[in-house]
């Protein structure tokens, strides 16, 4: 069974700078969740788009066959750390179909979690 798409977009990124409570459990963060139900590893590249500068990327990662991978945007440094408190969007391309979901934990004023399906582009 083939499930998912090979290109996804997440327009609404913005990682909160402040956190409340003990870390790392209470760190504010954005996260991308990738699901690969196929029988081949997914080679994924992500590009970060910004309001006032050219896109940065690729952020490269692999999601194993029949595996899920959660990637915190705060942790990305290669090729460049994504700035906090800054609007960004992601375009995610994979060489096999995957399913992508976006997740945010914001603890600046108490703990709030929001999730949204990413938008398939193909």
Partner 1 sequence: MITDRQRSLHPNDAEISNWSGSISFRPSYVEAPRSEEAMCAIVRQAARRGLKVRPMGRRHSSSLIIATDDVAVSMENMCGLINHDTEERWALVGAGTDLDDMGRALNEVGLAVHNLGDINVQTAVGAISTCTHGSGRRLTNLATMLIGGRMVTADGEVQEIGRDILHAARGSMGTLGLFTALKLRLLPRYRLRRREWCTTMDECFGQVEELSRGSRNLDMYWYPRSDRAKLRMLDPPGEGPERIRGAKLVMAREGWSNEVLSRKRTLRFDEMEYAMPIEAGPECFLEVRKRVMEHHRRTVGWRVLYRYVASDDAYLSTAHGRDTVTISLHQNNTLPYDAYFNDMEEIFLRYGGRPHWGKKHSLSAEELEPLYPKWAEFRRIRRKLDPEGVFLTDYMSRLLEGR
Q: Which residues bind partner 1 (CB under 8 A)?
A: 17, 22-24, 27, 29, 56, 72, 74-86
Place of tokens 């209470």: 26
Q: Can you read off the two tokens belonging to residue 24?
A: 């790392």
Q: What is the DSSP letter of 109?
A: T
Is the Cβ of residue 15 or residue 94 nearer to partner 1 in the bound state? Answer: 15
Whole-number minimum distance, CB 54 to partner 1, in Å? 11
Whole-number minimum distance, CB 56 to partner 1, in Å? 8
Whole-number minimum distance, CB 19 to partner 1, in Å? 9
Is the Cβ of residue 85 or residue 122 nearer to partner 1 in the bound state? Answer: 85
**Contacts of 34 by beta carbon, 8 Å cutoff, 6+ apart:** 42, 44, 61, 63, 68, 69, 70, 71, 92, 94, 98, 99, 100
Is the Cβ of residue 7 or residue 86 nearer to partner 1 in the bound state? Answer: 86
Is the Cβ of residue 23 or residue 40 nearer to partner 1 in the bound state? Answer: 23
**Contacts of 53 by beta carbon, 8 Å cutoff, 6+ apart:** none
Find out whether 27 and 84 touch, Cβ atoms under 8 Å. no
Whole-number minimum distance, CB 79 to partner 1, in Å? 7
């Amino acid at each position: 069974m083939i499930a998912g798409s090979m290109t996804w977009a997440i327009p609404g990124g913005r990682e909160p700078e402040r956190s409340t409570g003990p870390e790392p459990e209470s760190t504010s963060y954005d996260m991308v969740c990738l699901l690969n139900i196929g029988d081949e590893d997914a080679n994924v590249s992500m590009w970060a788009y910004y309001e006032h500068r050219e896109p940065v990327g690729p952020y490269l990662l692999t999601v194993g066959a029949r595996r899920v991978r959660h990637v915190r945007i705060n942790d990305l440094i290669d090729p460049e750390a994504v700035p906090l408190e800054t609007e960004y969007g992601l375009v995610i391309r994979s060489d096999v179909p995957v399913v992508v979901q976006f997740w945010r934990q914001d603890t600046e004023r108490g703990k709030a979690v929001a999730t949204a399906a990413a938008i398939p582009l193909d």
